[in-house]
Structure 1
Amino acid sequence: MVAGVPPDYFSATGQRWGNPLYRWSAHAAEDYRWWVERMRQTMKLCDVVRIDHFRGFESFWEIPAAAKTAVHGIWQPGPGEAVFNAIRRELSDAQGRLRIIAEDLGIITPAVNALRLAIGLPGMRILQFAFDGDARNPYLPHNYEANTVVYTGTHDNDTSRGWWESLSRAEQDYVRAYLGVGDESSEEIHWQLIRLACSSVASLCVIPMQDVLGLDSTHRMNAPGLGEGSWEWRFSWQQVEDSHARRLAELARLYGRKPG
């Protein structure tokens, strides 16, 4: 058996990652020591750790190793809150908080959301998922809660400009209506989305470098389920202009996101 996820809006055949599954009973017998030490080391390298596929801690998709795709599999129970309790005992801050973001995308059930809330981790909201015409869409900023991290898009999404160019005229009109901008905004749509993210109540705002630079689909970081061409993009400091820094600084000032 190997790991992956069933079909979702990222991939019609799911994602067959191919790595072996954790034997959670063995981890529990050691009070999740491997996880604690792995997290300890990771936290030395960055300010905040985003745990990919958080829903796997509630239940995970088990795929036969011989399967070519992730379509056929079954859900198996994960370790739940126990692994995070072990991490919290050694690695939380003075207020008992963990420097962790829960990547809660894909098939998120009430049980997965309840687990995230019980642990107290912020979830994720992606602007590219927001504009389906439903005002109740949880990815629209007016539906956010403060304990949220907003992204224009993640490494698994197209760039904001590439995403915009893939939309129909009607879909683009809806985005413009929500943003309150006219047709002339198309050339700067990435900055309109960056502003929207910054102006939300989300406690943290993450903007991919491709969106700061206004790059198209050829600069996409990853296409889930496809290996060739993924994770090859790199930026050069020669691409970064003073105007990029000034615009980000102004948005941070306007919306109270400036450090200190």
Structure 2
Amino acid sequence: MRASGILFPVSSLPSKYGIGCFSAEAYEFVDQLARAGQKYWQILPLGPTGYGDSPYQSFSTFAGNPYFIDLEAFVKEGYLDKSDCEDCDWGTNESYVDYEKIYNSRFRLLRKAFENYDCETDQEYRKFVKENAAWLEDYSLYMAIKDSLNGISWIEWPTELKNREKAALAEKREKLANEVGFYCFQQFCFFKQWTALKAYANAKGVEMIGDIPIYVAFDSADAWAQPELFQFDRENIPVGVAGCPPDAFSATGQLWGNPLYDWEYHKKTGYAWWTRRMANCMKLYDVVRIDHFRGFDEYYSIPYGDKTAQFGHWEKGPGMDLFRALEKNLGKLDVIAEDLGLLTDSVIEMVEESGFPGMKVLQFAFDENEDSPYLTHRYERNCIVYTGTHDNETTRGWFRNLSQHDRNFARAYIGCEGKHETAAVWSMIRAAMSSVADRCVIPVQDYLCLGNEARINEPSTLGDNWKWRMKKGQLNETIIQKIYKMTKLYGRLVKEETEEKEKTEADREKISDK
């Protein structure tokens, strides 16, 4: 089925109060997607972010980011006054998130809303806490303890807390009961609002493409609460951590620092944790993009404590054994495999056997060899094509920085006759849309023809990532109609959901509630 969508992080919505959220602007964007004939809204991971504000380094695999809670809903419900929101300092630049100010202001308002909310008598809240106890209890206690210890990582906590001794945890649950309740309240509000937004989108014929990292953060409730899932020693110190080896782009490689999975343990449990994780994801989203898919075939292990990724080695992952177990437990999954980078034969075979569509990034297609697998004439239908992703430059910024040879080759290939950079951007979009790829997703920055000032992330850097926001009115009706016409021209207009998808949704709902 041919279809298309837009990649647009929730944080980049032009919502009030400093950061994009599940506000009226999110619903307006869904309406724009529908008018533009788009079937998909692709987002970045929704988990609560920590150091560096990266959505790929979350405090929990299951929890949601409290920054995305719509404060205006609290005003309507009487938990906040409008002046509470307007009196906060949200930063001075509407095009970028000021995370320090967001943290200080939003948590203060969330706490006031919590104090004005009657958790004890709200049956909907009590039901949510009970149904999500498997992860919510650990996450809320973890965050409450973390706050009480000035935010230090759990590996630095007192031994009795780090090792989860029952008496110590019971004491903290009692002492920090209000704080635990505060974090439960956040999650209740997050999931209530997200569920409503997703339902609205689905009713408009728009599906949500979620994004999950292969790894969890070391400083997370998952690593603290279930150390047996990971390659830890007796002191709960990682044996090795995740990353990528040195290559042409980085002489010392990429040191991500995530704990590595103990795949033998996961196999013994029938991949129970992964089943719960994917069941939860398929409940939250319609389609799931799995980041760093090649890590399931082989993963790069770096000795814990190393300052670079130079001295790591490759180890064998679970391969198709994991995905066969997931399909057995959950039914057929609608998954996108992020299979970018240098791929071995075994990775290619795993992607092919899984049947999951891989990714094609058009920006990768133009180099001196002029024979890249990312050139559109080399695609097969079962793939998803992007002009670029959140990790790339915007297409306008990319085109501006190309060598003269590569720029000439790109112009010739995509049939760009206009001299202006915007002509090249729209020619790239046209090349992606007209390709045989079943699905096509374009970052919103490319439709707006923005330069690298609107880049979302530059891998292996800190400080300026995850900040860009769209200004209100930038995505106007002229652009929406231009998108619609191109979508219609290349046969990608929205179509009805299949009966099979509806059936598997019901099956996953049952598993995720267990």
Q: TM-score if structure 1 supplies the norm length?
A: 0.94
1:37 corresponds to which letter in structure 2? R
Partner of 1:159: 394
Q: Structure 1 residues 13 and 247 mapped into 2: Cα distance closer, same or farther (>3 Å)? A: farther
Q: How does 1:1-260 map to 2 (within 5 A)?
A: 1-8=240-247, 11-92=250-331, 97-260=332-495
Provide the rounded CA distance (Å) in 2 between the counterparts of 1:183 and 1:12: 38
Task: Tell whether the 8 Å contact from 2:396 to 2:450 is kept in structure 1 after alignment.
Answer: yes
Q: What is the identity percentage for the equivalent residue pairs of Structure 1 and Structure 2?
A: 48
Provide the rounded CA distance (Å) in 1 between the counterparts of 2:420 and 2:488: 22
2:398 corresponds to which letter in structure 1? W
Q: CA deviation at 1:183?
A: 4.3
* Alignment length (residue pairs): 256
Q: Choose 16-25 or 128-137, whichever is displaced more.
A: 128-137
Gaps of 5+ in 2: 1-239, 496-514
Q: CA deviation at 1:10?
A: 5.3
Task: Tell whether the 8 Å contact from 2:416 to 2:423 is kept in structure 1 after alignment.
Answer: no
Provide the rounded CA distance (Å) in 2 between the counterparts of 1:14 and 1:46: 32
CA RMSD of aligned residues (A): 1.5
Task: Tell whether the 8 Å contact from 2:390 to 2:456 is kept in structure 1 after alignment.
Answer: yes
Q: CA deviation at 1:12?
A: 4.0
1:113-167 Cα distance to aligned partner (Å, 9 max, x none): 0011111111111111101143431000000011111010011111101101101
Provide the rounded CA distance (Å) in 2 between the counterparts of 1:135 and 1:169: 14
Provide the rounded CA distance (Å) in 2 between the counterparts of 1:146 and 1:104: 16
Q: CA deviation at 1:174?
A: 1.1
2:400 corresponds to which letter in structure 1? E
Q: Secondary structure at the match of 1:197?
A: helix
Q: Structure 1 residues 89 and 15 mapped into 2: Cα distance closer, same or farther (>3 Å)? A: same
Higher RCO (Cα < 8 Å, 6 or more apart)? 2
Q: CA deviation at 1:243?
A: 1.5
Provide the rounded CA distance (Å) in 2 between the counterparts of 1:161 and 1:126: 15
1:137 corresponds to which letter in structure 2? S
Q: TM-score if structure 2 supplies the norm length?
A: 0.48
Q: CA deviation at 1:110?
A: 0.6
1:77-132 Cα distance to aligned partner (Å, 9 max, x none): 0001111111112333xxxx421011011221010000111111111111111011
Q: Choose 117-126 or 39-48, whichever is displaced more.
A: 39-48
Q: CA deviation at 1:182?
A: 2.0
Task: Tell whether the 8 Å contact from 1:14 to 1:225 is kept in structure 2 after alignment.
Answer: no
2:390 corresponds to which letter in structure 1? H
1:15 corresponds to which letter in structure 2? Q
Larger Rg: 2
Q: Choose 82-91 or 114-123, whichever is displaced more.
A: 82-91
Provide the rounded CA distance (Å) in 2 between the counterparts of 1:91 and 1:110: 28
Provide the rounded CA distance (Å) in 1 between the counterparts of 2:246 and 2:458: 14
Task: Tell whether the 8 Å contact from 1:10 to 1:224 is kept in structure 2 after alignment.
Answer: no
Higher helix share: 2
